[in-house]
Amino acid sequence: MKKFDNFANCLKVLKTADFAEASENEIYRTGVIAQFNLTFELAWKALQEVLRLHGTAGADTGSPREILQLGFKVGFISDSSSWLLMLKKRNLSVHVYDENEANEIVALIRDNFIAAFTVLEETLKDKIEEADTEL
């Protein structure tokens, strides 16, 4: 699945971020935040694609928030609060001009969001395999 593969590849890059460098270097920090934004975008789109693959009602259309809530409702996402925080921070990060806010987002990426992305990656991988065996 192309969307899942793109998400997994983007997450792989995000996991290699040097967070010590991000705290010292503004351009590097901006790059980490941009990679997070891209990973988030690909994550919810991959989730939507796998929900469709499973024939989940309501997966054909929807905003990122609606798709995340649907993923939680059907058990593809277990930690809705992390994902809703991620959505909020993704929306705010596009307009972050304050260094403290940028540092906060980078810390959340390091301490929380990468782990949530990783759990989703494993869940989607399992759900894709599950759907393939049903065909």
List, for residues 46-76, the tens digit of each pLDDT value.
999 999 999 999 999 889 999 999 999 999 9
pLDDT > 90 fraction of the chain, expressed in percent and rounded: 87
CA distances from residue 70 to 8, 48, 95, 110 in whole angstroms, order as listed:
21, 9, 27, 26
Number of H helices and number of E strands within the chain?
A: 7, 0
What pTM was estimated for this model as a whole? 0.94
pLDDT tens digits along 1-21: 899 999 999 999 999 999 999
Tokens of 134: 């049903």
How many domains does the chain divide into? 1
Tokens of 125: 């991988």
Q: Is the pLDDT of residue 135 over 60?
A: no
Matching residue, tokens 């989730």: 47
Q: Which domain holds residue 49?
A: 2-131
CATH number for the domain spanning 37: value is: 1.20.120.330
